[in-house]
Every structure is written in C-alpha cells, then in structure tokens.
Structure 1
Amino acid sequence: MTAPTALIRETFPVGPLRCNCTIVGDPVSKKAMVVDPGGNPELILARLQRHGLKVVSIVHTHAHFDHFLAAGQLKELTGATLHLHQDDRFLWDNLEMQCRMFGVPYAPVPAPDHWLTDDEELACGCGVALHTPGHTPGSMSFWFADARLLIAGDTLFHRSVGRTDLWGGDAAALKRSIRERLYTLDEEATVVTGHGSDTRLGDEMRENPFVRA
C-alpha cells in the first residue's frame, strides 16, 4: 500500500490581531484551501504562488472579524468560494459592527457561498469539517487524518482555550467540543491554533489547565 502524499501546509500570522492563516494544499491536484484569511491578502497570494497552489475555497473557523478581514478581497482576486457554518451567520451579518467596536477598518464581504456542516468533506478532498461550538455557535475545526493535522481556530490553544464572553459564547459547549470531538482524535496530531504557536493534541489532553481528557 502506497503511503499518502504529504499535504502542503503553511501557517502564518496576518492582520491587526495576528490571526493564524493556514494554507492547506494537495500536492497532486495543486488545489488549496485558505483557512481564516484575517488580513494581508497580498501576502496570502504570494504564499500560494510560492507553493504553486490554486485556492478553490476560503474556509472560516468562525465569524469573528479578525478571522475574515481579507476574505472579500481574496474571493474577488481568486474566484474561490467562501465557507462558514450557518450558526455563525448572525456574526457574519454584523461584521461591520464588530470592526467598528474594535476600531478596525471594515471592507465589505459578500455572503458565504456555502454553509459548512459537521463531518463534511472539505473542498480539497483531504480533510473533514468538525462542528465544535463554544467560542461561537458555529465554530468549526478542520481535521486532516492522514497528515495528523488539526486546525482548531479559537477553540483550543497552547495550554488554553477560546474565550466565551463574546457574542454567542458558551463555556459548557466549548468544553464538550474539546473533550468529545477534539480529544478523541490522534494524540500525535499537530494543532494549529487561531492565534499563537502550534501545539500537540496529546499534550493538551494531559496538560491543558482548562480542559483535560
């Protein structure tokens, strides 16, 4: 049996709140998804070009303003589709208000093209979407089993968890999502967080002071 070809993955901070934007690409088809383009569209495009990738979908872990700021420009420049869970629609519809509250310039963003669902296969055919509510009602994580890669957005951080004091936050739901969805995955998985450094899932299961397995 031939081993699966390794995914192309690059994560880098963008935008005023240094949100982690991640490019995930199939090295064979050269199709890619961009997760959480929170700013700096030219930088995102340059990274895609460097890897020889064509973005086909722009996917959001949730609809807080710092994770979307380059989404509209990226869609306009590439023709890629926008993806979000429908439970965060109320946040997406109020992106301008979010930006105003935090003093960040707002650039209009079109409505999502596709509403993500739990266990849905992602556009590049290499992973699945997991509904992990708590930080927001529609928070999603993205799991790439062959690559042992989990993109957790603002649900799980290095020795921390996402805040639940913003619109729609639910601390009990967040803990359930982490214990019942994320902590059931491969302990060796690399976790890409919404902000800050990567971590290892097994380490969080044993050492995260907020939620342990």
Structure 2
Amino acid sequence: MQTAKPALIRETFPVGPLQCNCTIIGDPVSKKAIVVDPGGNPDAIMARLDAHGLKVVSIIHTHAHLDHFLASGQMKELTGATLHLHKEDQFLWDNLEMQCSMFGVPYRPVPAPDQWLTDDQALDCGCGVALHTPGHTPGSMSFWFPEAKLLIAGDTLFRRGIGRTDLWGGDSATIERSIKQRLYTLDEEATVVTGHGPDTRLGDEMRENPFVRA
C-alpha cells in the first residue's frame, strides 16, 4: 500500500515595519525551503526555519515594494540562498532607497537579484510554480502549490480586496485581468496567503470579492 506523501511545511507570519506576510515553504522530506517576501525581522525568520529544521535554497518575491524585501539582503548573507524577482520589477528593486525615504523606513542596501522569475517557472523545492500576475506592479508574481491547494498571492489579491494600483507601475485593468484569468482559474478550495492580513479561500473571493468577481 502506497504511503501518503507528508504535507508541505507552511508558516506565514507578519514581519517588518509594514507587517508584510512572510511565508516559509518547506519540503518535509528534503528539508529544503523557500522564503517568500522577507520584509523584515531576519532573526525571527531564521528562528522559524531552525524550528522546522529547514535549509533555505531560494528567497522569492511577489514584487519589489520595499515592505516585501527589506530583509532580503540579510537573509542572503545568513543563508547563502539566491534572490529571485520578476525582471519587470527591477526598477523598483533598484530604487529601494527612494521607497524607504517615501515611507520613512530606514534604508539598508540589498544586492541585485540572482535570478529572474518567469511565468510558469517551477520553484526550487519542486512543489510549486510561479505565475506572472501583473497589475499591482508590472512584475507582480503569485506562487501556486497545487498539491497543498495553496496560493501565495502577494499584494494582488486580499480577503475581500485587491492590491492598490496607484503606486509605480500599477494598472487597474491589468490587475483585474490577472485575478480573473490566472488566479480565479485555480482550485476554489485553495487557501490564499495575502501580502498583508488574514488568509482567505479562493472560492469565497471568486463569489464575494467586491472588486473582482469570477
């Protein structure tokens, strides 16, 4: 009799001055992990990784607004993991100092991304795929883990909300298209990890989100 595959390790917690949701995704067998959106508090992120016995192989970003990558440089120093971003958000990554000054957040330089994320790219732990979902920013990404029925949507989709489009490169028609064509075609039972605030369920957003419905 075939034994069931152990469940993916997933922990999400708010970090940094703007309380961005950082998510750890770990393979329970290989103990390899990815960290999504380390927006601050690198020591707290490392403590959670150690508690799960996980080793970070890549640090991936839903987009390049400051609150989603403030601790990325420190995490790279601590773990040796590679940094990943969609190329269309490079202009935001390169302007971290400007973003920090606008929001009154202390500036700490981060190195350039090591690799560019692409649409439908398999993620390092072998358990998920990157989806290009522009609109909040030109390079916004979501990360889909089909076996776990888990969607990390960043600031594209929130519980009964969507990402703002009034910042650099935002576009309301594009974010609506990304949500309808890329996210609302996934499993309705999926748990959605948002960029800030509580998780939601994809089917609930498809029916009840006041901004974009399926």
TM-score, normalised by the number of residues in structure 2: 0.98
Distance in 1, Cα, partners of 2:102 & 2:115: 27
Asked if the contact 1:25/1:31 (under 8 Å) is kept, the reply is yes
Asked if the contact 1:4/1:146 (under 8 Å) is kept, the reply is no
Q: Deviations over 1:160-189 (max 9, x none)?
A: 000000000010000000000000000000
**Secondary structure of the equivalent of 2:13?**
strand
Task: Quote the residue 2:152 is aligned against.
Answer: 151
**Equivalences, count:** 213
Unaligned runs of 5+ in 1: none
Distance in 1, Cα, partners of 2:80 & 2:213: 41
**Secondary structure of the equivalent of 2:78?**
helix
- Name the aligned partner's letter for residue 167 of structure 1: W
- Name the aligned partner's letter for residue 61 of structure 1: T
Confirm or deny that 1:80 pairs with 2:81: yes
**Secondary structure of the equivalent of 1:17?**
coil
Q: Deviations over 1:84-107 (max 9, x none)?
A: 000000001101110011110011
- Name the aligned partner's letter for residue 34 of structure 1: V
Task: Quote the residue 1:91 is aligned against.
Answer: 92
Distance in 2, Cα, partners of 1:8 & 1:154: 22
Distance in 2, Cα, partners of 1:109 & 1:145: 31
Task: Quote the residue 1:32 is aligned against.
Answer: 33
**Secondary structure of the equivalent of 1:33?**
strand
Unaligned runs of 5+ in 2: none
Distance in 2, Cα, partners of 1:188 & 1:195: 20
Deviation at 1:191, TM superposition (A): 0.1
Q: Which runs of 4+ in 1 moved over 4 A?
A: none
Deviation at 1:66, TM superposition (A): 0.4
Task: Quote the residue 1:192 is aligned against.
Answer: 193
Deviation at 1:30, TM superposition (A): 0.2
Distance in 1, Cα, partners of 2:6 & 2:86: 29
Distance in 1, Cα, partners of 2:120 & 2:97: 30
TM-score, normalised by the number of residues in structure 1: 0.99
Task: Quote the residue 2:43 is aligned against.
Answer: 42
Distance in 2, Cα, partners of 1:147 & 1:2: 17
Task: Quote the residue 1:141 is aligned against.
Answer: 142
Distance in 1, Cα, partners of 2:175 & 2:25: 25
Confirm or deny that 1:160 pairs with 2:161: yes
